[in-house]
Every structure is written in C-alpha cells, then in structure tokens.
Amino acid sequence: MQITLLLVFSVGALYVIQKLLDFMRATRSIGNHAGYRTLLSQTSVLGNFLPPTPGIAPGRNFLFRRKYQVFESYGWDLISAVSAWPRSKTTVFLADASTIKEVSTSRSRFPKPVHQYTVLSFFGRNIVASEGDEWKKYRKISAPAFSDRNNKMVWDETVKIMDDLFRNVWGNQAVITTDHCVEITLPIALFVIGAAGFGRNISWQDDAILPIGHQITFKDALHIVTTDVFLKLIVPDKALGLTKRTRNVRLAFDELHQYMSEMIRDRQASKKEIRYDLFSSLLAANNEDSDEAKLTESELIGNIFIFLVAGHETTAHTLCFTFALLALHQDEQETLHQHIKMVLSDGRTPTYEDMNLLTQSMAVFYETLRMYPPVTGIPKESAEDTSLMATNAQGEKKAVPIPTGTNIVIDVPGLHYNPRYWEDPETFKPARFLQEWPRDAFLPFSAGARACLGRKFFETEGIAILTMLISRYKVEVKEEPQFSGETFQARRDRILSSKPGLTLTPVRVPLVFKLRDIKTT
C-alpha cells in the first residue's frame, strides 16, 4: 500500500514539476511581458465559467467586465496571459489600434484559428468558421447579395415591419410595457433578415402560428439555439434528454435544421424570379449552369445559419442596448428626437435616401456599438515567430516576442474604452461620432479582409428601426417597486447588465414605450 501511495505521489509530483517548467517556458517565450498568470486558461470551459479568482481563473465575460482597466493596471496596451492548465498556453491581448491594424491586415502571419469556432459549425461549414480557399469560396458566393440594391430592400422591408408593429400590434395604445426589450427587438430583427435576406415574409400575426410538422416556431427555435448553443457544445448528445432545458435545446436544433432544409427546398421548387437577397446568391452558386464551386446541402445550411444568427441576434441585442441607453439618458434621446423631426419635417416615413441625413441616429447607434460591441474578443494566432509592439500611456514602445502558436486576442472593449483614443470612454456621448473620430480604434465589425460582410445591412436595418421607433415613442425605464430607492449608477448597472453568448447579451432591460403626440412633436 505504501509503495502504491509513493508511486502515486511521485507521478503527481513529476506532473506538477512538468507543468511548472512548461509554465515558466511559456512565460519566458514572451519576454516575461506584463500580464496575468492563472492556473486555468480563459479558453477552458471551467476557467470561463468560474467567477473571477486571482491566480486561478480570469472568470466569465472577463473581457467586457474589465474593459481597459486590466491594461491600465499593467501599464501597457498589449498584455499577456499565461495559464498552466489544461496545458501551458500563452495569449496576448491587444488594445492598441496600430498593433491591431497590423494583426488584422497580416492574414498570413496572423490567421484566424478556425478550430475555436466549432460552436458555429453544428449545421455545416460556413463563412465564419473557415479560412483560406474555403473562406474565399463562401465570400465570393455571398458578397453579391450585400449590394446597394439589397440595402434599399433591407430599409423598405424594415419600414414595413415597423409599420405593421405600430398599426396592427401596438395600435393606439398610449403605453407599451416590456419586461425585457429583446421581446421586441428579436422578432423585428428576425423578420427583417427573413424578408430581406431569405425572402421569408412573416407578419406579426403569422409568427404566432405553428407550421404543420413543427413543434415550435421558427423564431423560438432560432432564439433557443442562439441562447443555449454552448449547452449543445459541452453536453454530450446522449445527455441532452436529462433535463427540460437540454431537451428544449435538442428540439430547437432539430427544428431549426428542418426549417432551413424546408427553406432550401421551397425556394428551389418555386418559380424562378430575379431576387437580390442573400439566399438567392447562395442557391445561385448551385445552379447547374453556374461556374462557381458548388455548395453541399450541409454548407448551404451552415451558411444560412450563420447569416440568420448574424442578421438577427447582433441587431436585436445592439438595439436593446441602444434603447436602454436612451431611456437612461433622456437628454440624448431628446437630441435624437429633435434631429429626426428636422430631417423628417413633414412627418413622413423615412426612406432609404434619408439614411445619410440621419446622422444623429447613426451616432447613437455607433456609440452603442462602441460601448457594447457584439463580439468582445476577435481571436487570431501567430503562424510564425514574430514580435508585436506594445505601447504605454506615456507613448513609450517596446517589442514583445510572439512565438509560433501564440493565441492573440483583439480585445474590442479594451480598445473601445482606451482613453488614448476615446475621451471619457465610460460616458455615453453620441456626439463624438459627429466629428472626426479614430476609425482604427472602432472595431464592432472586426477589420481587414475578415471584416463583417453584412455591415451595411446591419447599419441600414438598425438606423431604420431606431429612427422609426424614436420618432413615434418616448422610451423610459420601467419603474419597479423593488428598485425604487436605487441611485442612477445602480439603475444603469442593472439595466445595462450583460452576459456572454454568441454575442454580448443584455440580461434584462425592462422598458416603457410612450406614444408621442405626433401632431405636436
């Protein structure tokens, strides 16, 4: 027994010593550059879900939670993180605009680590979870859909959907109360991507009808998948039937796959007509007379899923944060309302041609994206031994060695809250986007060749929704007795609380929409 215990102890000691040596080598490989050292990696499941614990784990949502503070504490706009388990791994985090530009434009030196995107490949290979020739193929097929002609369609469809909401859902109600604003923004965004992206027109009334052969609606299936996708990733398939929540996740994945398959079959069987939406571009590549490389059904479904997620969740969450910020900052909301009145002086419905005139709407939208970027960390990796430049608050620089295989994270909140680029970064100031602003320090759509293909789609939809809603309704925070004595800061923290997901997700935003007197405003 003693020999067995001694053997176990010896093996354990050797394992610890090996881990310690690996940890020390990893630290030396980056020149012992400043940063935090933890037992658990921030990319490990356990390290990501534990609360923040110094020396143990960075904690969940640590990028957005710390923003620029961690860079400030270590004194550099490039910091390192070295973890010991499950294996010693070095990561560098970037909040320096020039260094980020170097990384995002040097694709051969700093490729996208597609293995980190397994969570987005459940339904098939796609434009986000790919690199190299495969990515080029998907991008070539998708790019024609994101044209000015399509953007006008996006605007027009959004206006129809908002008008349907105002006339047939909210009607003449003077006050609309929601316990969570995403209950409003999620269906709006889904209807827009459905109509403008996939030719799937859904009215607010139709959405309540369950199609034959389905157990849950398209909207609910997509919402469950995007909300609980990480459960699908970490829970084995055989264990998904153990709880009600995991059973719902399994059902939602099955239902969404069925819906997407039906979309493909229905469009292929329909009469051929000229359309300019994304779905048409994807399907056109598979026509027999097309010179493009063909997509498998799995690739079709994989890319449909990615564009559905990107086209509805990102918009819905950003608008939710936008309305929360405007509800908290009534002066900024009034400034926006007065600007909309000036542009639409005759009270007419805004058109696509008005979009460039709605500068205050764009400023509010951009300031929300600066403060609440949908994606908080953009991963890259080093394909070779190289170095990157670190800068401190005094403007001093030093080269940090970056060995092959080093994880690199473009820290979007760190960049967006960096006072070297943004004055008073914690404050909601849309006006900063009405003058010259640091474009290289604004990355809600990523940068370089991998920048968001649907940026204009996203902006067009968002500006149309924001403009139409604020022109008709005043937004306020819902008053709740249990929070009656809270300070403004406590209210702000509560209303703008977020959690990680496929995109940064608002926890709960209870709002009230009050109908304005259209004739007098």
Distances (CA, A) of 4 to 9, 14, 85, 443: 9, 15, 26, 56
Q: Digits of tens for pLDDT over the chain (521 positions)?
A: 677 777 777 777 887 788 788 888 888 999 999 998 888 877 666 666 677 778 888 777 778 889 999 999 999 999 999 988 777 778 999 999 999 999 999 989 999 998 888 777 888 888 888 888 888 888 888 888 788 888 898 999 999 999 999 999 999 899 999 999 999 999 999 889 888 888 777 777 766 678 889 999 888 888 888 888 778 877 888 888 889 999 999 999 999 899 888 888 887 777 666 666 778 777 776 665 556 667 888 888 888 888 888 778 899 999 999 999 999 999 999 999 999 999 998 889 999 999 999 999 999 999 999 999 999 999 999 999 999 999 998 889 999 999 999 999 999 999 999 999 999 999 999 999 999 999 999 999 988 888 888 899 999 999 999 999 999 999 999 999 999 889 999 999 999 999 888 889 999 999 999 999 765 44
Residue 419 lies in a domain: no
Domain CATH for 145: 1.10.630.10
Do 322 and 176 belong to one domain? yes
Do 341 and 402 belong to one domain? no
Residue 426 lies in a domain: no
Do 143 and 183 belong to one domain? yes
> From CA 460, how far away is CA 468, in angstroms rounded?
12
Residue 44 confidence (pLDDT): 66
Residue 50 confidence (pLDDT): 74
Do 110 and 192 belong to one domain? no
384: exposed, middle or buried (C-beta count within 10 Å: 0-12, 13-18, 19+)?
exposed
Do 147 and 294 belong to one domain? yes
Do 119 and 222 belong to one domain? no
Give phi and psi for 159, each to the nearest 5. -60, -45
3-state secondary structure of 403: coil
Q: Which helix (H) or strand (E) holds 490?
A: helix 488-495
Residue 205 lies in a domain: yes
Do 100 and 210 belong to one domain? no
Owning domain of residue 509: 134-375+444-515
Residue 423 lies in a domain: no
> From CA 98, how far away is CA 114, in angstroms rounded?
24
Do 187 and 256 belong to one domain? yes
Measured at the CA of 416, the angle between CA 415 and CA 421, to 5 degrees, comes to 80
Annotated binding site for heme: which residue ranges? 452
Residue 464 lies in a domain: yes
Do 194 and 62 belong to one domain? no
Residue 322 confidence (pLDDT): 98
Do 268 and 405 belong to one domain? no
Residue 259 lies in a domain: yes
Annotated binding site: which residue ranges? 452
Cβ proximity of 457 and 194 under 8 Å: no
Give phi and psi for 476, each to the nearest 5. -135, 160
Residue 206 confidence (pLDDT): 64
Residue 177 lies in a domain: yes
Residue 521 lies in a domain: no
Total number of domains in the chain: 2
Cβ proximity of 459 and 318 under 8 Å: no
Cβ proximity of 416 and 504 under 8 Å: no
Do 186 and 241 belong to one domain? yes
> From CA 255, how far away is CA 212, in angstroms rounded?
12
> From CA 408, how far away is CA 444, in angstroms rounded?
17
Do 366 and 389 belong to one domain? no
